[in-house]
Amino acid sequence: MVKRAFKYRFYPSPEQAAELARTFGCVRLVYNMALQARTEAWTLRQERVNYNATSAMLTAWKKTEELAFLNEVSSVPLQQALRHLQVAFTNFFAKRARYPTFKSRKRSRRSAEYTTSAFRWRDGRLTLAKRDAPLGIVWSRPLPEGASPSTVTVSQDSAGRWFVSLLCEDRVEPVPATGVVGVDAGLDSLLTLSTGEKITNPKHERRDRAALARAQRNLARKEKGSANRAKARLKVARVHARITDRRRDHLHKLSTRLVRENQTIVIEDLTARNMLRNHNLARAVSDAAWRQFRTMLEYKTEWHGRTLVVVDRWFPSSKLCSACGALAARMPLHVRSWTCRCRQTHDRDVNAARNILAEGLSVIACGGGVRPQRESSRTRRSPMKQEPQRATAGIPAFRRGEDVNGPPSRRAGCPGGVLPA
């Protein structure tokens, strides 16, 4: 049994929409006030304020005249906002994330989380606390038989669409698989597999992206604060939503297929690259897709009892010959294929994917940390996170000054380990 979120669109009545908008506003306010209180306590008095303390603050705020309106919405989403802040701080103190930032009215995701005490689930109808009518959910796919949600998250995206996500227990049927595969993230093709298969971007993406650029230019021409500007912004948000929806759908199909076919999947940790600020649109989009893809692989491999290996980012996957292990001197990005001294000609990305697979298999043979340790995929991670996993095993021989023309250098990192064939 695994916990699984099922997300649906819904169409609120005008009253429900107003009530939810008010709830989102209160959630944001409580989150920001608690963040401010915690920041001040630390900077002024070097005191750490924990979740319980912020919870007591919330109770006090509700009693004041100017914040009495907090009582008008369900109290659970407000408490959950404090819990989310606590998680953000825990991640910050563990050096997994940056310092929490204030939620913005325009930029932040509008959402509210309800636990079982704050909603009613009866005969497949969901009613939130303080409401009489159930939500008008469009059941685009059925919930698992007999499922009953333990947490409900309501949100609205920047294109104005409403979503409800239901966290349910679901049964996963074990399906045996024997395959092993290495995956390389690319720019030209979305992903390249060690089998030689190249997976391209979703079909409509190029056209959608052109439409996005057009909508953005149009927005830039509109006068600030005008009604036309608001309209143009919504147009941009809609195109954006279409792109991310199609991409997510594409990545879900891919990750499901890979997990179904393979027992072991090896990917590269691109955290360091992702941390760099990037103004290249294509690169930014591909990085976002990669993060999303990795998260999907993480939970799907967990569900199906598969092994996901994340090889470290120092590994020179593009420069290493996957046939003989020789290391090429330089490999600028425009080089799409190259021939090694051993006369093997490589497609750059396929070669990288093969190296990633071999590296991953040697990690398993060495008994290194196999499953990546990431408690929450929602939080941004710093590159420090993955390091303790493998102290030296991933350092290829050439870094230690050994003969790079010897046996494949990745094997040198494995003390007495025998590589699986």
Residues that bind Zn ion (CB under 5 A): 321, 323-324, 326, 340, 342, 344
CB of 355 to Zn ion, least distance (A): 11
Pick from 421, 416, 420: nearest CA to 393? 416
Nearer CB in complex with Zn ion: 323/364: 323
Nearer CB in complex with Zn ion: 321/393: 321
Nearer CB in complex with Zn ion: 256/344: 344
Q: What is the C-alpha separation between 248 and 177, in angstroms, rounded?
A: 25
Q: What is the C-alpha separation between 31 and 45, in angstroms, rounded?
A: 21
CB of 351 to Zn ion, least distance (A): 9
To the nearest 10°, the Cα dihedral for 385, 386, 392, 395?
-120
Q: Which residues pair with 48 in a beta bridge?
A: none
CB of 344 to Zn ion, least distance (A): 5
CB of 326 to Zn ion, least distance (A): 5
Selected catalytic residue, list 184, 208, 298, 359: 184
In a 3-state reduction of DSSP, which class is residue 236? helix
Nearer CB in complex with Zn ion: 194/386: 194
Q: How many CB atoms are located within 10 Å of the residue 104 CB?
A: 9
The DSSP secondary-structure symbol of 400 reads G
Pick from 382, 383, 322, 311: nearest CA to 349? 322
CB of 333 to Zn ion, least distance (A): 21
Nearer CB in complex with Zn ion: 49/340: 340
For the chain, give me the number of helices (H) and strands (E)? 9, 13
Selected catalytic residue, list 19, 205, 268, 298: 268
Q: What is the C-alpha separation between 154 and 73, in angstroms, rounded?
A: 14
* Alpha-carbon dihedral sign for residues 271, 276, 277, 281: negative
CB of 387 to Zn ion, least distance (A): 30
Residue 184 known to be catalytic: yes
The pair of three-digit structure tokens given for residue 119, joined into one six-digit string? 């909603």
Q: What is the C-alpha separation between 409 and 323, in angstroms, rounded?
A: 12
Nearer CB in complex with Zn ion: 407/420: 407
Q: What is the C-alpha separation between 411 and 379, in angstroms, rounded?
A: 34
Nearer CB in complex with Zn ion: 267/320: 320
Selected catalytic residue, list 113, 205, 312, 349: 349
CB of 138 to Zn ion, least distance (A): 55
Catalytic positions are: 184, 268, 349
